């Protein structure tokens, strides 16, 4: 596979940049024809590689285009993209990245403008929770943090919705709610939104200052005041496992993670999931075409397929994702459609790093 990938990149090296520049002047039928001539596409995605290799078989059968998904971490893929940006032709055709990167990267210098290339689809997602890819990236994977709970222990009507509700639940049911502070973002999402509701701080600005950090003290005080009544877990996975096993009644989690574990039979199917009214962080991942992609037409066809209503519906059913095409069917989602309005953006960095460090020092280490 690696030899084949290297050979295809070498062969395409001279022609690729010209093709990439010409896509915007081509009709969609011409792009699809060019994609079939290219014959393959290299999709760099850092998670669920084996699952995606199975998912894209439908695309390969429909278009006769081979999808190569190399192994690689998020950091390694990001580093590779930046390291290759000055090459005439790189190795990456389709680059997957978190919408959080929109605030970090100069998208026009790295990627082709997809809005000029893809066929019209008003349902596509180009911005998510305040992160706007400006037409250079299209959403294909929506994720949402929320609260997993055992409906045999707590009814839907009694679910906590505010910081005060959670404090009351903890007091009435000590040791039955747990959250992680590391090894996964669901726990941090929970405490960050408690902070949001108790403080007057601009969490969407990454600006750092001692005064801004000090203003989060009401959140610190809240968790310290109720420290005896909640449990600190080891990770996202530990939290949901302990809910499924009955040790905990409620714990933060990721919608797609919980759905995936239920699909594999590793978490009880009875476990439910909700996004409280106080809000919890959500986001997602996008795909783009690097300006020096060796197979840009095939990349465009794959991205159009990934972002389509049909594929977004399939991802919701099979992976538990939040659909990122308005025409997709979300009826199989763990999160009811009306609760999507409770999604919040992640606090901006570098302030978020300061906040998480303060939480560890002033709450976790004080327990």
Domains in the chain with CATH codes: 2-142+284-319 (3.40.190.10), 144-282+336-366 (3.40.190.10)
pLDDT for residue 13: 39
Residue 64, judged by CB atoms within 10 A of its CB (0-12, 13-18, 19+), counts as exposed
pLDDT for residue 129: 87
Q: Flag the least confident range among 8-12, 266-270, 280-284, 353-357.
A: 8-12
Measured between alpha carbons, how far is 167 from 122 in angstroms, rounded to an integer? 43
213-237: pLDDT as tens digits: 999 999 999 999 999 999 999 999 9
pLDDT for residue 3: 44
pLDDT for residue 17: 42
Please determine, for residue 303, whether its predicted confidence score (pLDDT) is greater than 70.
Answer: yes
pLDDT for residue 236: 96
pLDDT for residue 22: 72
Please determine, for residue 243, whether its predicted confidence score (pLDDT) is greater than 60.
Answer: yes
Tokens 């075409």, located at residue: 289
The strand pair at 231-233 and 138-149 is best described as unpaired
3-state SS, residue 142: strand
Q: What is the mean pLDDT of residues 275-299?
A: 97
Q: What is the mean pLDDT of residues 291-301?
A: 98
Measured between alpha carbons, how far is 282 from 270 in angstroms, rounded to an integer? 23
Nearest to 315 by CA among 145, 174, 139, 190: 139
181-218: pLDDT as tens digits: 999 999 999 999 999 999 999 999 999 999 999 999 99
| CA-CA-CA-CA dihedral for 350, 283, 364, 221, to nearest 10 | 80
Angle between helical axes of 28-38 and 296-306 (0-180°, round to 10): 110
Radius of gyration over every alpha carbon of the chain, rounded to an integer in angstroms: 22
338 C-beta neighbours (distance < 10 Å), count: 8
pLDDT for residue 130: 85
pLDDT for residue 4: 45
Please determine, for residue 264, whether its predicted confidence score (pLDDT) is greater than 50.
Answer: yes
Q: What is the mean pLDDT of residues 95-124?
A: 95
The distance between the two most distant Cα atoms of the chain, rounded to a whole number of Å, is 68
Tell me if 106 sits within 8 A of 133, measured CB to CB. no
Q: What is the mean pLDDT of residues 249-278?
A: 96
Which phi and psi (to 5°) does residue 49 adopt? Answer: -60, -45
Residue 139, judged by CB atoms within 10 A of its CB (0-12, 13-18, 19+), counts as buried
Q: What is the mean pLDDT of residues 259-267?
A: 93
Nearest to 124 by CA among 316, 330, 348, 306: 306
Tell me if 272 sits within 8 A of 334, measured CB to CB. yes
Nearest to 95 by CA among 108, 109, 78, 107: 78
120-155: pLDDT as tens digits: 999 999 999 889 999 999 999 999 999 999 999 999
DSSP 137: -
Please determine, for residue 21, whether its predicted confidence score (pLDDT) is greater than 70.
Answer: no
Nearest to 122 by CA among 328, 329, 331: 328
């Amino acid at each position: 596979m690696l030899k084949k990938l290297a050979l295809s990149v070498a062969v395409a090296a001279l022609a690729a940049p010209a093709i990439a520049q010409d896509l915007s002047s081509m009709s969609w039928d011409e792009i699809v024809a060019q994609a079939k001539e290219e014959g393959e596409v290299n999709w760099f995605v850092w998670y669920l590689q084996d699952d995606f290799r199975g998912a894209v078989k439908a695309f390969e059968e429909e278009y006769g285009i081979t999808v190569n998904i190399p192994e690689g971490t998020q950091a390694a893929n990001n580093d590779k993209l930046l390291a290759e940006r000055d090459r005439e032709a790189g190795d990456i055709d389709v680059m997957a990245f978190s919408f959080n990167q929109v605030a970090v990267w100069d998208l026009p210098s790295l990627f082709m403008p997809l809005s000029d290339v893809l066929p019209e689809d008003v349902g596509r997602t180009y911005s998510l929770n305040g992160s706007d890819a400006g037409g250079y990236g299209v959403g294909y994977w929506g994720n949402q943090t929320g609260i997993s709970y055992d409906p045999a222990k707590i009814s839907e009507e009694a679910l906590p919705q505010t910081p005060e509700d959670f404090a009351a639940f903890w007091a009435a049911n000590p040791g039955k709610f747990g959250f992680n502070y590391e090894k996964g973002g669901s726990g941090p999402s929970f405490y960050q939104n408690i902070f949001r509701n108790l403080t007057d701080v601009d969490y969407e600005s990454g600006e750092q200052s001692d005064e801004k950090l000090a203003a989060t003290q009401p959140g610190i005080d809240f968790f310290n005041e109720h420290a005896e009544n909640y449990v600190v877990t080891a990770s996202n996975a530990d939290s949901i496992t302990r809910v499924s096993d009955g040790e905990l009644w409620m714990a933060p989690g990721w919608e797609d993670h919980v759905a995936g574990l239920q699909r594999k039979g590793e978490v009880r199917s009875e476990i439910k999931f909700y996004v409280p009214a106080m809000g919890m962080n959500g986001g997602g991942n996008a795909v783009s075409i690097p300006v020096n992609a060796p197979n840009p037409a095939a990349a465009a066809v794959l991205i159009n397929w990934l972002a389509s209503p049909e594929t977004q519906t399939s991802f919701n059913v099979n992976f538990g994702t939040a659909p990122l095409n308005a025409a997709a069917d979300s009826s199989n989602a763990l999160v009811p459609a009306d609760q999507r309005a409770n999604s919040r953006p992640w606090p901006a960095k570098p302030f978020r790093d300061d906040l998480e460090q303060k939480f560890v020092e002033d709450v976790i280490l004080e327990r």
